Structure 1
């Protein structure tokens, strides 16, 4: 029996990232053993660190048709793109596993809300790509690594972001350039929640930064297509693994990496990073950097490692404040964001943010 399943855009992107090697060592969507090991232990069944489930969720009717099958055809826009060699079919209990993934059951958490919309029926197994054209215009580790090698860069720091660059991020990036031969700025441009900065705003800001201030530096810029999970500490490690697969030797984890609201502690991601680095060989060095802020006494961007002035002198670089000002068409203080970047984003007008 020839059974097909139509992938949505996010499942397609996971499929592409598996095929291209961004999600190495995964060769397909997770089977039950890998899924439960990731949720419970933050490792695949073979013991290798992995912190975010990558699953193929399917509807009940398809599940019942393929439960005894060996293969499921995968389509996108009703065109065959490949298939999955079925290792197993299984069901999950969303309410039991969600708190293990996100640390909360609160349906107001965007990752939790999104996860609850997925089918509880899952198919695990290796994927086989039949239409190679779907892999175009996506990051390919072999090509990125070859570029780094040709440049003679031996150490490369990866930087993850979903926002336009501001002074705090610039500080972290310049610190990384002091430590490594090069910096790979790799903004995430997959699904994000309503009100987040649009892909156009992020790319416009960085284009301006690179042209105006990073000219001639050892910087490589490209986008990463994968959804935000907003899973905080676990997603920080997931982001590091992806950048390892792309050839980075180092990865920056700052304050509240991949967080949202007040669901995670300011340095909870760094605590998890320290724990996993002490227990496993992650294949990448994690740069755990303190939150940068502006000190009015020092008259520059500092961190608690380089400045001990009292809180009266401290001005936090607030992403929320920057977002609110740009939304009103106002340029934030240059303490927070360079004026050229702010102006380039403001001119996008109604395209600055993701709409519902």
Structure 2
């Protein structure tokens, strides 16, 4: 048998529900290395993040044999192993475009076993009844508003602030619907908790957005902090779920200064031109507050970037919330701040 980590269990669910389509099982070595080196699957489909199953020691497993999959001491499915292999550090560095072991994605990867197996999977049907699945977004909008044909997907790991609100409202001017899909899997210390992210978006959806044009649902997968590669990965998942458009903003899936602020947009645009990602990209500039214009703007709509720009600082927002203080309303709505502060300072941000 194989005991699954939380991340592997979540991957198993999305493999089964085709959110990771066209991947249908954990990757074999040839597919893994092609994704690492060329950002493609063996069938030439674009794919940027490897989906692999870790085990304690590959010597304990036999190729072309079935093994039960357990999670939290319960049988959840099976795998027919087609391959077993060991990954190395250079492959990890290629994915993250860094060799810094303080990079949160690399640090997380180094905690995993380097021993991997790949093959076809099965899962107990009851475990995916309430999971995201292929084309779920089209289905959900058909239930609430049949006029919705174009849908913009929005990825986030943060509680909503005015910059993200600005991007979402822009998307609603372009598309019929908006799918807000916060990531609620593993994130690094200091990021917003699941309760904070979903609480803020529930408040925003219920009180400020048109209910028949916005659909909110969490994405149960881990953050990789892989910047450009992860931005494309996020776009592919939303394509699979039925979005027609996907928003990529400033430093998408980035962390600290490991990636250029528009590097994710550049890679997504390049790959889309070469291969066609199957989803239209909404590539927006960084929103900021302009003192002269007295509103949230971007470089495309304001001529005061160098003179009157006030960045919407995540650090300032976090420091205020941590001290029970309502952040500047230019940066975050008071109603959202109150939801977050009501959680208590120990529950706003991830502690470990």
Residue 63 of structure 2 contacts residue 82 of structure 2 at CA under 8 Å; is this kept in 1? Answer: no
Name the stretch that deviates more: 158-167 or 141-150. Answer: 141-150
1:141 Cα deviation (Å)? 2.6
1:139 Cα deviation (Å)? 1.3
| 3-state SS, counterpart of residue 180 of structure 2 | strand
- Residue 113 of structure 1 corresponds to which residue in structure 2? 107
Give me the whole-angstrom Cα distance separating, in 2, the residues matched to 1:30 and 1:77: 23
Residue 54 of structure 2 contacts residue 114 of structure 2 at CA under 8 Å; is this kept in 1? Answer: yes
Task: Flag as ranges the 4+ runs of structure 1 deviating above 3 A.
Answer: none
Give runs of aligned pairs for residues 171-320 of structure 1, distance below 5 A. 171-216=166-211, 218-320=213-315
Give me the whole-angstrom Cα distance separating, in 2, the residues matched to 1:342 and 1:236: 27
Give me the whole-angstrom Cα distance separating, in 1, the residues matched to 2:77 and 2:149: 36
Give me the whole-angstrom Cα distance separating, in 2, the residues matched to 1:161 and 1:259: 11
TM-score scaled by length of structure 2: 0.96
- Residue 3 of structure 2 corresponds to which residue in structure 1? 6
Residue 152 of structure 2 contacts residue 246 of structure 2 at CA under 8 Å; is this kept in 1? Answer: yes
Name the stretch that deviates more: 221-230 or 207-216. Answer: 207-216
Give runs of aligned pairs for residues 56-67 of structure 1, distance below 5 A. 56-60=53-57, 63-67=58-62
What's the CA shift string for 1:185-227, capped at 9, x where partnerless?
0100000011110011111111211222114451011111000
1:320 Cα deviation (Å)? 1.6
Residue 79 of structure 2 contacts residue 122 of structure 2 at CA under 8 Å; is this kept in 1? Answer: yes
1:308 Cα deviation (Å)? 1.0
Residue 135 of structure 2 contacts residue 240 of structure 2 at CA under 8 Å; is this kept in 1? Answer: no
1:297 Cα deviation (Å)? 0.7
- Residue 131 of structure 2 corresponds to which residue in structure 1? 138
- Residue 16 of structure 2 corresponds to which residue in structure 1? 19
Give me the whole-angstrom Cα distance separating, in 1, the residues matched to 2:305 and 2:252: 25
Name the stretch that deviates more: 274-283 or 305-314. Answer: 305-314
| Residue 29 in structure 1 maps to residue 26 in structure 2 | yes
| Residue 155 in structure 1 maps to residue 153 in structure 2 | no
| Residue 122 in structure 1 maps to residue 116 in structure 2 | yes
TM-score scaled by length of structure 1: 0.95
| Residue 42 in structure 1 maps to residue 39 in structure 2 | yes
- Residue 334 of structure 1 corresponds to which residue in structure 2? 329
Residue 64 of structure 2 contacts residue 82 of structure 2 at CA under 8 Å; is this kept in 1? Answer: no
| 3-state SS, counterpart of residue 287 of structure 1 | strand
| 3-state SS, counterpart of residue 262 of structure 1 | coil
| Residue 97 in structure 1 maps to residue 91 in structure 2 | yes
1:77 Cα deviation (Å)? 2.2
- Residue 355 of structure 1 corresponds to which residue in structure 2? 351
1:147 Cα deviation (Å)? 2.1
Decide which of 52, 57, 63 is 1:55's aligned counterpart: 52
Residue segments in structure 1 that go unaligned for 5+ positions in a row: none
| 3-state SS, counterpart of residue 351 of structure 1 | coil
1:128 Cα deviation (Å)? 1.5
Give me the whole-angstrom Cα distance separating, in 1, the residues matched to 2:46 and 2:169: 29
| RMSD, aligned α-carbons | 1.3
**Are residues 142 and 288 of structure 1, via their aligned partners in 2, closer, same or farther at CA, if it must alter by over 3 Å?**
closer
Give me the whole-angstrom Cα distance separating, in 2, the residues matched to 1:346 and 1:68: 52
Give me the whole-angstrom Cα distance separating, in 2, the residues matched to 1:186 and 1:45: 29
| 3-state SS, counterpart of residue 141 of structure 1 | coil
Give me the whole-angstrom Cα distance separating, in 2, the residues matched to 1:141 and 1:45: 21
Give me the whole-angstrom Cα distance separating, in 1, the residues matched to 2:349 and 2:321: 10
